[in-house]
Amino acid sequence: MKRKPNLILFGIDSLRSDHMSLYGYNRLTTPHIDKYVAGGTVFERQFSPHIPTTPGYSSMFTGMDCFGTDVVALRHEGGLGKHLHTLAEILGDGGYATTCVGFSANAASRGFQKYVDFTGWGAWKDGRSPKAENLNKVAIPELKRLAGEKQPFFLFMRHMDPHSPYLPPGPYERMFYDGNECDPKNKSLDPVMSFKPFCDYFASWFPPGCTDKDYVNAQYDGAIAYMDSCIANIFATIASLGIEEETLVVITSDHGETLYDHECWYDHHGLYECTLEVPLAFVWPGKIPAGVRVKDYTLQKDTTPTILDIMGVRSKIKFDGRSLLPRIQGKPWQPETEFYITEATWMRKHGWRTPEWKLIQALEPDFHFKPEIELYNVITDPDENHNLAKREPAVVALLQARMHEHIARREQETGRTNPMYTNLSWHGQKHGPYTSSKQAYDEMHIGSPNAAQKLQARELRRQRGQKKL
């Protein structure tokens, strides 16, 4: 009897596609990934509409949008709903061995049979952070174990290198920087270190006396390049095990990263393109066409339906997303060109994106003191630097109407209220929505990598308890 195909899924946290050489970035940050996915199909406009981590992975792993998952917040309360079936649960029920590396304490990781963790955080005082090497130390032995078993397997790995703190080991910390990061004449980090909600966190991992934003940006790129070199080791292990022709490899991310953009300093909040666009690639020799680049818009909710379709796994689930396999095979295809976007990270906002326009509307004041409504022409202003909301009120009204029409339709289809309206504890404070930007600025704070880690995921014990429900 022919063995079912294996699945290896790389979920690279906080990886914005425009900082990958795979997507045309001018720095050679991902040479090993570039070479590997040349043997498969790459999607060039993959969006993660519901950010950040928890809603992003919830959509990725269930094939549902935020109305289907009922998850919109980073600090999602409780586990996933019982109405949902995760990719790990679907494959596990189909006889697969399933292992999750580095994501055990998040609600979105429900359903794996085995969880393996590694050290993925650090601070300046702890030295450089070899996150990807720490992952390899636990993931490669697990990959070898799974490959040696009789049953097919699903191995998910959550790489953390592009997630702050950006502290890649040498020589990657200076791979893309040759200046003086402590030049007293450089004032580019002054506004960053003056931002009270985050400045203590930045001080915990920026080099003492650092003044240059370009140095910090180069650390992000260096972290990606370092991770890429470590991922090459996993690619080599796949080849040495002789499982390439029976294994689907998927590379993607939960969301992007802001870096210095839009004054959303070195994080992943703000519904801008840098946080919404992520990589997506499928590799399976002999099954997935090599050298194909797809320019159509695709969404996070399409990931699980596509994986199952490629692997030939049948499911009775009615996904919100759809399989991308017909598009991979060059069959007739109608892309989904406009879609609802949400975030509940450090701000609670939603919006509507079309091929030409992006509307961002605040549901409560944010700590950046940004206007309630933002409108960008993503064709003439791809970096979203010019808010046209006041100049184009008719466009704002049109997009608002499209957004609210979509919300009403999805609420009716799911029988649930839009979670953006009901999840009022997204900020982790013991009160209702913020009434002013000043209140948000004064109350929201992150002070250390350890605090960031706690905000990123629920306690392991609680998650394990949810898994048993």
> What confidence tens digit (pLDDT) does each residue in 359-417 have?
999 999 999 999 999 999 999 999 999 999 999 999 999 999 999 999 999 999 999 99
pLDDT tens column, 115-156? 999 987 777 777 899 999 999 999 999 999 999 999 999 999
Q: Are residues 10 and 250 in contact, defined by beta-carbon separation less than 8 angstroms? A: yes
User: Which of residues 304, 319, 336 is at a domain's end?
Assistant: 336
Q: How many alpha carbons fall within 13 Å on the CB side of residue 52? A: 29
Domain of 435 in residue numbering reads as 339-443
E-strand ranges in 265-364 read: 277-283, 292-299, 339-344, 348-353, 357-362
Q: What six digits make up the tokens of 119?
A: 């050290």
pLDDT tens column, 373-385? 999 999 999 999 9
Shared domain check, 184 and 206: yes
Q: Are strands 153-159 and 6-12 parallel, antiparallel or unpaired?
A: parallel
Shared domain check, 343 and 331: no
Say what the pTM is. Answer: 0.94
Shared domain check, 381 and 269: no
E-strand ranges in 83-210 read: 97-101, 114-116, 153-159
User: Which of residues 266, 301, 336 is at a domain's end?
Assistant: 336
Q: What is the mean pLDDT of residues 6-22?
A: 98
pLDDT tens column, 340-360? 999 999 999 999 999 999 999
Q: Residue 48: give its domain's CATH number.
A: 3.40.720.10
- Quote the CA–CA distance of 73 and 67 in Å, as a whole number: 12
pLDDT value of position 340: 98
User: Which of residues 336, 354, 385 is at a domain's end?
Assistant: 336
